[in-house]
Chains A and B, each alone.
Chain A
Amino acid sequence: MGRVVLVTGVSQDLGGRLARRISTDPEVSRVVGVDAVPPRQDLAAVRFVRADIRNPVIAKVIAGEDVDTVVHTSVVASAALVGGRTSMKDHNVIGTMQLLAACQRAPGLERLVVKSSAEVYGSSSRDPAMFTEDMTAKRPPQGGYGKDVLEVEGYVRGFSRRRPDVVVTQLRNASTVASYTRSPLGDYLRLNPTPKVIGYDARFQLLHYDDLVAVLHHAALAGVHGTFNVAGDGMLMMSQAIHRLGHRVLPLPRLTLGALGSLVRQSGLGLPDFTPEQLQFLTYGRGLDATRMREVLGFEPRYTTEQALLEFASSVTSPTRVTHPVVLAESLVSGVLAGILAGGGRGG
């Protein structure tokens, strides 16, 4: 008999896509999707159970459906998705605690996959160039998503100690982008002109959204114990990425960006709101060493960082896009040069 997989957060984009993808896997006999709200998209073969993971009812679902693999994807990155920071923290931290409590009581459980995030490493001037999984943040995230993820990882470690028989996989993914969906970094890069912290150029990697879904799927079936960084190959600088998208850079002091962010947050427009953690990332960036992802987890992303940006760029249509003066000058001069060469040829 195949595996029975429970996916949390199926009403969100990531959970929904993952549940549908796993349900087509021949090794899996059944996929149960849970969320507090009904899904908007069609879940195909996924059996949807409306249950809030913050509620002990989740334990009954796990036991009743004979679930052997739990994939926890509902740690959300953006307060706008769940209506405010308080609700987000409640959802992320309390939700995970309840889910883990339920998992601990489920004797049939064999595997747990948790989507964590590279935000646990924070971002500072004292960071090493590349974080490996056994390093910790030099300046731990002080709030927001990063702190939630840090707490979630703490509870997962506790669970792992209490249930050593369960294979626990935690995935710390780099910032994701895709042309067809929203993500915190994607929303930021869609701005034109793109505000950038003046005097700093963040180094970063990308993970294409397809690869994020793929690695969660892979982890659910591979059953490899451990924590893994997940990122595409290669590195980009923030200004370089903005230039590649054909956007203009708007250099602003950090304090101004922060003030702008809190204005946007209060306006509720759903625009990138530059939380202190995001600003910290946009200032110093971060690099992840994904060696263990390849060698231990056995996963290979389809997109490199550059390819992910290229795919994302197809969705970035800026009507105000102007050709840079240097590009114009080059075509002009190469035209004149061709003229000179032709003239010189005739003269000789």
Chain B
Amino acid sequence: MADAEVIPLGTRGRHGSPAGSLDGPPSVPQQQPAVRAETTTDPVSGAEKTAPRATSAPAGTTTMPLSGRPGFPIEELISAANAVGRLVLGEDGERKLAELLALLRRRVTGDYTVDEYGLDTELTDRFLLEIVRPLATTWFRVEVRGVENIPADGGALLVSNHSGTIPLDGLVTMFAVHESTGRHLRPLGADLVFRLPFVGEVARRAGATLACSEDATRMLGAGELAGVWPEGFKGIGKRYSQRYKLQRFGRGGFVSAAIRTGVPIVPCSVVGAEEIYPMVGNVPALARLLRLPYVPVTPFFPLLGPLGLMPLPSKWVIEFGEPIRTDSYDPGAADDPMLVFNVTDQVRETIQQTLYTLRMRRKSVFH
């Protein structure tokens, strides 16, 4: 009947549902006639029905106190906190909060493990990659293509172009790989990375190691997905006018490591990173003083100060190309310089061609 619908809605007029049910029976005889009158005389929408009842409720309170227990409204407060928790943290907010605190406790008590290169999986997945997420998805709107070319397991060497004055392309590629395959990309970095305070510490925690043949061979042999940016500082430190022109690919040490371990080489082309900090000048004297490869001048830095450190929101496309297999070569071929140069050139050409194609497809730098 209509009464059965009305009464549970009516309890909403009082604060705190658990207490309200206690004094239900006494208030019912007083309220019921009024409610019944409304529902019978005015059969309109439910929203209109509740409004007069809310005003009728205080009439009941004058004769009968709403709460069964006078004093501090602890249960009301708890249910309010619960509701706020749900609002902020979503459904099962308690569990999430408890998890977050457990995570923080593990961090401050050292209760986690790192692998032999220093990769801290928990920190990387829960914090570092989460910091990159808004940058990659909202700011640069990264479009990832050819994910199927990254092997699901086993060793592989990802080779990418390098650009952007500050190597954000490495971070975004790490994020993209983890997001689309669940694997950790293990960057092989220059020794400058590990010499710099804080940068080196975070790099090791994120799974990076030194770009030397010992570490590359070790990582690939252990079935890791390693990443190299063979252009190095020549790539990230090039002028804006040189954008999308691949620099020399080092000495091809990465190819030797791949051949020695027989893992595939996955060419990776990143479009968009060139425009984040368009470098128009360099301060070599300051760079020498700070023992850095360059000190960039962009249209906004150092002119706008810290604001100039904000990367421009260019549109990014990352394409993973078809893997180049090296397992058909004899491991001894790693010491054949001509073969190594040929494979290096093949990888370089593939990336350069893909860069041209992707740039043609892009409507403009920013979308």
Contact = CB atoms under 8 A, between A and B. Distances in A.
Q: Do A and B come from one complex?
A: yes
Interface of A: 125-130, 132, 135, 198-201, 203, 234-237, 239-244, 246, 284, 287, 306, 324, 326-327, 329-330, 333-334, 337, 339-341, 343-344, 346-347
A203 B194 contact: no
Contact of A327 (B82, B109, B112, B214): B109
Interface in B150-188: none
Interface stretch (B5-13, B94-102, B232-240): B94-102
Interface residues of B, number: 44
Contact of A129 (B79, B81, B117): B117
A344 B105 contact: no
Nearest to A245: B110
A333 B98 contact: yes
Contacts of A326: 101, 104-105, 107-108
A129 B114 CA distance: 13
B353 interface: no
Nearest to B75: A343
8 contacts: A128-B214, A201-B118, A236-B114, A239-B110, A244-B109, A330-B102, A333-B97, A337-B97
Given A244-B109, A306-B113, A343-B75, 18 more contacts: A126-B210, A126-B212, A128-B215, A129-B117, A129-B218, A199-B200, A200-B201, A203-B114, A235-B118, A240-B112, A243-B109, A326-B105, A329-B101, A330-B98, A333-B101, A340-B94, A347-B18, A347-B79
B102 A347 contact: no
Given A125-B200, A199-B197, A200-B200, A241 B118 contact: no
A240 B79 CA distance: 39
B82 A344 contact: yes
A327 B111 CA distance: 12
A242 to B, nearest CB: 7
A244 B106 CA distance: 10
Contacts of A203: 114, 117-118, 204
Interface of B: 17-18, 75, 78-79, 81-82, 85, 94, 97-98, 101-102, 104-105, 107-118, 120, 191, 194-198, 200-201, 204-205, 209-210, 212, 214-215, 218
- Interface SS of B by simple majority: helix
Contact of A201 (B85, B104, B204): B204
B97 A241 contact: no
A271 B204 CA distance: 30
Given A128-B210, A339-B78, A244 B18 contact: no
A246 B110 CA distance: 9
A340 B82 contact: yes
Contacts of A346: 18
B104 A244 contact: no
Contacts of A284: 194
Contacts of B204: 201, 203
Closest 8 CB pairs of A and B: A199-B197, A243-B110, A244-B110, A128-B214, A240-B110, A330-B101, A125-B195, A125-B194
Contacts of A244: 109-111
A324 B115 contact: no
Contacts of A339: 78
Nearest to A288: B116
Contact of B114 (A240, A329, A330, A347): A240
B22 to A, nearest CB: 12
Contacts of A337: 94, 97-98
